[in-house]
């Protein structure tokens, strides 16, 4: 058996992503010990019942003490407060990272509270589902998925490489880019699709009651896929949109222009415009599936969770 990459891992926040990291790190023998802290006592107790860690603390400061790797796994709007709480208790030389879906605002919120003696390397695994809480942890969540790191140009290359090795050991493919670039790319590939799903399900539920019941009755196909995405955690996604405002508004502007083109094509009976776009988008889907990035394929996305998500984790 090889030595673990990190002696002690501390996870602050133990919902869907924190629990998945704990399960995958434990299975791979990637860390020696796992310390867990989270805001809600009920969630901490549930994490302990599930055996996600070795030691559990109500106070994040106690969890991070002596940790070689600290990963903050909370909604992005809470990351600044967490950094403030743990900053004075971090071990010199520790790597501090996060999993937030937005990067520029998280760096701005966390960096001022972290001592210069630690390596702050923000991260974002591009994997997840609509479920939340510690019961939604999935040991294979990161298998063959991307994890993006956004180290500052001044970051220690050895620390960056070590964090990359951690994510590879969890099954992920890793790439580094700037926080700004990350936020622009994710605005179109993840944030806008969620906004569209929330919007279409909201529009359908606002229809007059007669049509609404038909929508629910016949939602076996396309609409049903949107309802899965629109069931995603409200706190997490509120924070994403409030914290990636500029990039989302930029992509939303382009989206609205393209939608206006399609609206005109339908009104004018312009079949060529519709056919050309649909041909192009079909090719894009086929190329994504061909390179193994079909996000709808893994079983975990369709898992029938029998336990309801916790309302406030
Ligand atoms: N769900 C996804 O698909 C997904 C994928 C990749 C990254 N992310 C990012 O990962 C992070 C966590 O998301 P999740 O899906 O695990 O959410 P979750 O709701 O399942 O878990 C959030 C955890 O954070 C804790 N928490 C909330 N506020 C806190 C605070 N102030 N201090 C300490 N703990 C606090 C909660 O107790 C809970 O344990 C978010 O930043 C999200 O953007 C989510
Ligand atoms: O498949 C889903 O349910 C997801 O929403 C996962 C997804 C995504 O948009 O791809 C959501 C947000 C994260 O930041 C990363 C992954």
The per-residue pLDDT for 135 is: 98
* pLDDT of 294 above 80: no
Query: pLDDT confidence of 126, banded at 50, 70, 90?
Result: very high
The DSSP code for 5 is: S
The per-residue pLDDT for 291 is: 77
Query: pLDDT confidence of 302, banded at 50, 70, 90?
Result: very low
Rounded to an integer, the average pLDDT of 57-80 is 98
* pLDDT of 306 above 80: no
Nearest CA owner, ligand 2 atom 2: 129
Tell me: do 16 and 66 sit in the same domain.
Answer: yes
Q: Is the CB of 130 under 6 A from ligand 2?
A: yes
The reply to whether 237 falls in a domain is: yes
**Total tally of structural domains belonging to the chain:** 2
Query: pLDDT confidence of 300, banded at 50, 70, 90?
Result: very low
Tell me: do 168 and 194 sit in the same domain.
Answer: no
Backbone angles phi, psi at 309, to 5 degrees: -65, 150
Q: What is the pTM of this model?
A: 0.93
Backbone angles phi, psi at 58, to 5 degrees: -70, -30
The per-residue pLDDT for 214 is: 81
Compute the distance from residue 297 Cα to the ligand 1 centre, in Å: 24
* pLDDT of 200 above 70: yes
Tell me: do 57 and 165 sit in the same domain.
Answer: yes
Q: Is the CB of 295 under 6 A from ligand 2?
A: yes
* pLDDT of 156 above 60: yes
The reply to whether 1 falls in a domain is: no
* pLDDT of 163 above 60: yes
Tell me: do 158 and 250 sit in the same domain.
Answer: no
The per-residue pLDDT for 204 is: 87
ipTM of the complex: 0.98
* pLDDT of 264 above 50: yes
Final residue of a structural domain among 135, 161, 177: 177
Compute the distance from residue 130 Cα to the ligand 2 centre, in Å: 8
The per-residue pLDDT for 293 is: 56
Ligand 2 atom nearest to CA at 125: 15
Rounded to an integer, the average pLDDT of 228-232 is 96
Residues 69 and 178: their CA atoms lie apart, in Å, by 21
Give tens-digit pLDDT for 8-64. Answer: 999 999 999 999 999 999 998 999 999 999 999 999 999 999 999 999 999 999 999
Query: pLDDT confidence of 218, banded at 50, 70, 90?
Result: confident
Residues 97 and 122: their CA atoms lie apart, in Å, by 5
- Domain membership of residue 275 as a residue range: 182-309
Nearest CA owner, ligand 1 atom 3: 128
Final residue of a structural domain among 126, 158, 177: 177
pLDDT > 70 in the chain, percent? 92
Q: Which CATH number belongs to the domain containing residue 108 in this structure?
A: 3.40.50.720
Q: Which CATH number belongs to the domain containing residue 273 in this structure?
A: 1.10.3660.10
Report the residue among 15, 124, 127, 192 best suited for mutation to probe ligand 2: largest number of ligand atoms under 8 A from its CB: 127
Is residue 75 within 8 A of residue 16, CB to CB? The reply is no
Give the distance from CA 90 to its chain's centroid. 24
- Ligand 1 contacts (CB < 6 A) are 12-18, 38-40, 43, 73-76, 78, 81-82, 99-101, 124-125, 128-129, 132-133, 233, 236, 240, 313
Strand partners, 176: 149
């Amino acid at each position: 058996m090889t030595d673990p990459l990190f002696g002690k891992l501390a996870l602050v926040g133990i919902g869907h992503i924190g629990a998945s990291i704990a399960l995958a790190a434990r299975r791979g023998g990637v860390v020696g010990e796992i310390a867990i802290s989270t805001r809600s006592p009920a969630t901490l107790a549930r994490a302990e019942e599930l055996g996600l860690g070795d030691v559990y603390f109500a106070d994040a400061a106690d969890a991070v003490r002596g940790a070689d790797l600290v990963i903050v796994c909370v909604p992005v709007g809470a990351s600044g407060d967490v950094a403030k709480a743990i900053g004075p208790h971090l071990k010199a030389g520790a790597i501090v990272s996060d999993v937030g879906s937005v990067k520029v605002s998280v760096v701005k919120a966390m960096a001022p509270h972290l001592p210069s003696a630690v390596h702050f390397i923000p991260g974002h695994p591009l994997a997840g589902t609509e479920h939340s809480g510690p019961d939604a942890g999935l040991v294979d969540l990161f298998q063959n998925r991307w994890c993006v790191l956004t180290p500052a140009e001044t970051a220690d290359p050895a620390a960056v490489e070590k964090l990359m090795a951690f994510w590879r050991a969890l099954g992920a493919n890793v790439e580094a880019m700037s926080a700004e670039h990350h936020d622009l790319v994710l605005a179109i590939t993840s944030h806008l699709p969620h906004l569209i799903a929330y919007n279409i399900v909201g529009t359908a539920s606002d229809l007059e009651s007669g049509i609404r019941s038909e929508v629910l009755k016949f939602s076996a196909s396309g609409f049903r896929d949107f309802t899965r995405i629109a069931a995603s955690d409200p706190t997490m996604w509120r924070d994403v949109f409030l914290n990636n405002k500029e990039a989302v508004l930029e992509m939303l502007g382009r989206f609205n222009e393209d939608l206006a083109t399609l609206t005109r094509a339908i009104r004018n009976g312009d079949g060529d415009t519709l056919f050309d776009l649909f041909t192009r988008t079909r090719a894009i889907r086929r190329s994504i599936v061909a390179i193994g990035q079909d996000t709808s394929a893994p079983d975990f996305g369709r898992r029938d969770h029998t336990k309801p998500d916790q309302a406030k984790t």
